[in-house]
Amino acid sequence: MRRQLGLPPTGANDATTVDWTLTAPTELDHKRIEPRVTTIISAATPIFNTDQCECLDITDLVEDVVSMTAGMTGTPHNFQKLMVRIFSRSAHTILWGDAFEDSGVARLLEITQPGMTHQVGLEYNPARERWTCLATDVLGH
């Protein structure tokens, strides 16, 4: 289906039109949206951009994390989700920094358990300018 959209004149006796072409919706049966993943082996200040990932995977943490905030860049949006997965062979502390906060029911992961994988689910709240923790696997799996 083709439609002409008339726009207001941009000058004397000058009219501009835009040609829009509408097509049938694309079927999404058996399709999925692949999350964008940033993978880091280990870092005291992990570097990642929230404009470029929904998931942060720290695959072999070998040192304490002194700040999750310091290496984070990007412009998060209301209700944006971020999933953080951390594997560590030994116990390490994690300091999240000012960009992150606990919620009323979930606390940010503070220390990893040896040989375990932990996951932290976060959601951005622009009113508080913080990533709020929604869920944490403190025991690991």
Higher pLDDT, 86 or 1: 86
pLDDT tens for 41-65 read: 999 999 999 999 999 999 999 999 9
Spell out the domain ranges in the chain: 37-136
Q: How confident is the model at residue 4 (pLDDT cuts 50, 70, 90)?
A: low
Q: How confident is the model at residue 32 (pLDDT cuts 50, 70, 90)?
A: confident
Q: Give the CA distances from residue 56 to residues 8, 24, 88, 112, 125, in Å, rounded to whole numbers and listed in that order.
A: 47, 36, 14, 16, 18
pLDDT tens for 63-74 read: 999 999 999 999
For the entire predicted model, the pTM comes to 0.78
Distance (Å, whole) CA 130 – CA 124: 6
